Amino acid sequence: MNRIRDIIEHGEEGHGMPLIGALIGAAGAIVLAIGAANDTGALTIAGGIILAVGLVAMLVIQHMTVEYGIYDRLDKLERK
């Protein structure tokens, strides 16, 4: 378990963190599919919302963990 946590937090310099958002989105897609297959409107809507939240979370986490570091290094290079 510690190895998985270490990979998510520090693997590939932060590239593992967006995995959390992708997993949330995958769970939402599964709930969406179950709701659609069973013709359950509330479950389908909930799955769509969870999927959307997961996708937005993945983008935000990627921006914060990966792109902030890149922008910071570029800013330091431009100052020199």
pLDDT for 70 equals: 77
Per-chain mean pLDDT for the chain: 84
Picking from 48, 56, 49, 46, the residue whose alpha carbon sits closest to that of residue 21 is 56
Domain count, the chain: 1
pLDDT for 78 equals: 85
Q: What is the pTM of this model?
A: 0.70
Contacts of 27 (CB under 8 A, 6+ apart): 50, 54
Q: Would you place residue 73 in the very low, low, confident or very high pLDDT band (cuts 50, 70, 90)?
A: confident
Domain that holds residue 56: 2-79
Model pLDDT for residues 28-56, shown as the tens digit of each residue? 999 999 999 999 999 999 999 999 999 99
pLDDT for 24 equals: 93
